[in-house]
Amino acid sequence: MDDHQTQLKNINRRTVLNYIRKHTHATKAGLASATGFTFAAVKKILDELENQGLVRFACIEKKAVGRNSAMYEINPDFGYMISLYMNRKEIHVAVVNLGRKIVARRRIPMENRCLSQKELIEQLLDSVQEVMKEAGAAREKYVGVGIGVPGPIDMEQGMVLTPPNMPMLHYLPLRDILQSRLGLPVYLHKDTNVIALGEFWNEEGRGSESLFYLDVDMGIGSGMITNGKINAGAEGKAGEFGHVTIDLNGPVCKCGNRGCLEAMASGIAVLRDFKAELEKHPNHPLYPRRECLEIGDLAQAYRDKDMIAVPIINRAAFYVGIGVANVINLLDPEKVVLGGLFLRDFESSYEIITNVAVQRMMKNGNGRNIVKSQLGADAGVIGCAEVVIDRFFQEAVNGIWAKN
Ligand SMILES: [Zn+2]
């Protein structure tokens, strides 16, 4: 068979695989109508994929009318990924199978720890060995490693640059070090981009082709998925939504500009405003502790309907809502997912955010496409794996059917 024919066949195989991957299960008839292939062609491709072990029979679809038919799914045990998802609190080291299930995981606490880069790498590698042992899959089944780290990063060099509060990661060429130590391809992305990808493949995001993830935590970051892929921008530097200007005369941001969303509505911003207000209220029960307050104290005060905390959080939620409206007006993503501590600790702010966004967006809508993250940290872990899975599905058929 000539190369051209092989290429065509591989495109068809990929179409079938991607459909099953996206829909979790598929019948032959469903595949035929979705792809436009004949029933016989679908059957032949499924037989080939099943023979290779990439696809397997899942169950019988019971229909109220007509014949029951066989459902197929991706064989989750065909391949395994290693995920390294890092945030300022902890590093998640996990093994994820091709069905996006986390089969083993370790957490390395990072808060208040001072590790050298060498110690960090050794600890990462030890944890990788542990999770691989626990997962119990054969070494040759591992496809690659996906890493999500706080930005900024240099994607081309596979290097972490200078994430705040994580000095042990500064200028660490993480991709190349792990690639040579583990002997597997390694992909390095910014944390918010892998979270966005994880959310995209979660049920909430799955139906969509484009998704915007807004992370409102101590800082504010974002990730964008376009046509099912991470959209990292021309130099991999996109996703700095925390630094869009909301108020020209607002407080100075850590980036040096004034009135960035991050300076107006992040965890750091609301804590700063809370402390400043407490200074004016010496009788407030938190006044004596105003210098060492943490975000948890503010969250508790907000839950207690504290007269200082509530307006500060409501105002921050208003700014986040404006940010979301800006995103929708500029990009019109099918889904906006909100994550980070803001939504977790100040739960009722969600309503303010969506109301403000709906009022200010140009298109008609009820805000139903603005949702809260359902996965939490797992979005990062699954997103890291998904970076590798995506490559796998693009390249696997070419590898398996390169010549025949
Ligand atoms: Zn800024």
For 91-113, write each residue's pLDDT tens digit. Answer: 999 999 999 999 999 999 987 78
- How many A from CA of 255 to the centre of ligand 1? 4
From ligand 1's centre to the CA of 248, what distance in Å? 11
Q: What is the DSSP string of 161-174?
A: ---TT-GGGTT--H
Q: In angstroms, what is the span from residue 244 Cα to ligand 1's centroid?
A: 7
Paired tokens of 3:
């190369």
Which of 217-221, 296-300, 327-331, 391-395 is predicted with the least confidence, judged by mean pLDDT?
Answer: 391-395
Domain span at residue 150 reads 80-198
Question: What is the b/e burial string over 196-219, where b = at least 16 CB atoms within 10 angstroms of the residue's CB?
Answer: bbbbbbbebbeebebbbbbbbbbb
User: Residue 161 C-alpha to ligand 1 middle, in angstroms?
Assistant: 17
Q: What is the CATH number of the domain that holds 70?
A: 1.10.10.10
Identify whether residues 111 and 66 lie together within a single domain: no
**This prediction's pTM:** 0.92
Residue-wise pLDDT tens digits, 306-321: 999 999 999 999 999 9
CA distances from 164 to 126, 167, 241 (A): 25, 7, 16
Q: Which of 182, 198, 214 is the last residue before a domain boundary?
A: 198
Pairing of strands 90-97, 80-86: antiparallel
Full 3-state SS string of 84-127? EEECCCEEEEEEEECCCCEEEEEEEECCCCCCCHHHHHHHHHHH
Q: Which amino acid is at 267?
A: G
Half-sphere exposure of 268 (CA within 13 A, CB side): 13
DSSP 8-state secondary structure symbol assigned to residue 46:
H
Q: Are residues 131 and 111 in the same domain?
A: yes
In a domain, 400, yes or no: no
How far CA 305 is from CA of 204, 309, 312, 346, 361, in Å, comes to 31, 7, 11, 11, 30
CA–centroid distance, 304 to ligand 1, in Å, is 31
* 362 within a domain of the structure (yes/no): yes
Please, how many CA atoms are within 13 Å of residue 108, restricted to the half-sphere of its CB?
24
Q: How many domains does the chain have?
A: 3
Q: Is the domain of 91 the same as that of 123?
A: yes
Do 223 and 352 belong to one domain? yes
CA distance 399 to 395: 6
Same domain assignment for residues 252 and 338: yes
- Write out pLDDT tens, residues 368-394: 899 999 888 899 999 999 999 999 988
Instruction: Confirm if 92 and 109 have CB atoms less than 8 A apart.
Output: no
Same domain, 209 and 322: yes
State whether 187 and 213 are in the same domain: no
Are both 68 and 87 inside the same structural domain? Answer: no
Asked if pLDDT for residue 403 goes beyond 60, the answer is no
Is the Cβ–Cβ distance between 80 and 141 less than 8 Å?
yes
Ligand 1: centre distance to CA 268 (Å): 12
Q: Quote the ligand 1 centre to 267 CA distance (angstroms).
A: 14
Q: How far is the CA of 240 from the centre of ligand 1 (A)?
A: 9
* Domain closes at, from 180, 198, 216: 198
Distance (angstroms) between ligand 1 centre and the Cα of 265 equals: 11
Of 273, 303, 306, nearest to 290 (Cα)? Answer: 273
> How many angstroms separate the CA atoms of 350 and 338, rounded?
9
Do 101 and 42 belong together in one domain? Answer: no
237 CA to centre of ligand 1 in angstroms? 14
CB atoms within 10 A of CB 126: 12
Task: Give 154 Cα–ligand 1 centroid separation in angstroms.
Answer: 19
Looking at the fold, whether 218 and 367 belong to one and the same domain comes out as: yes
| C-alpha 89 to ligand 1 mean position (Å) | 22
Q: Is the pLDDT of residue 173 over 70?
A: yes
The Å distance, Cα 99 to ligand 1 centre, comes to 38
Above 60 in pLDDT, residue 281? yes
What's the 168 CA to ligand 1 centre distance in angstroms? Answer: 23
Average pLDDT over residues 277-286: 95
pLDDT of residue 22: 86
Residue 298 C-alpha from the chain's centroid: 27
Residue 398 maps to a domain? no
Domain end among 198, 222, 249: 198
Tell me the C-alpha distance between 99 and 351, whole Å. Answer: 34
8 Å CB contact between 299 and 346? yes
**250 domain residue, yes or no:** yes
In this structure, is residue 395 part of a structural domain?
A: no
Q: What is the rounded distance in angstroms from the CA atom of residue 147 to the CA atom of residue 149?
A: 6
Ligand 1 mean position, distance from CA 323 (Å): 14
Q: Token pair of 74, please?
A: 């991706």
Q: Do 95 and 178 lie in a common domain?
A: yes
Ligand 1 centroid distance, CA of 342 (Å) = 18
| Helices within 253-367 (DSSP H only) | 261-265, 267-278, 295-303, 309-331, 341-345, 349-360
- Give distance in angstroms: CA of 256 to centre of ligand 1: 6
Categorize the per-residue pLDDT at 272 as very low, low, confident or very high, splitting at 50, 70 and 90: very high
- Give the CATH number for residue 300: 3.30.420.40
254 plus 320 within the same structural domain: yes
297 occurs within a structural domain = yes
Q: From CA 155, how far away is CA 171, in angstroms rounded?
A: 12
Token digits of residue 305: 């309907």
Using the mean position of ligand 1's atoms as its centre, give its distance from the Cα of residue 196 in Å: 21
**56-65, 223-232, 241-250: which has the minimum mean pLDDT?**
56-65
**Residue 385 within a domain:** no
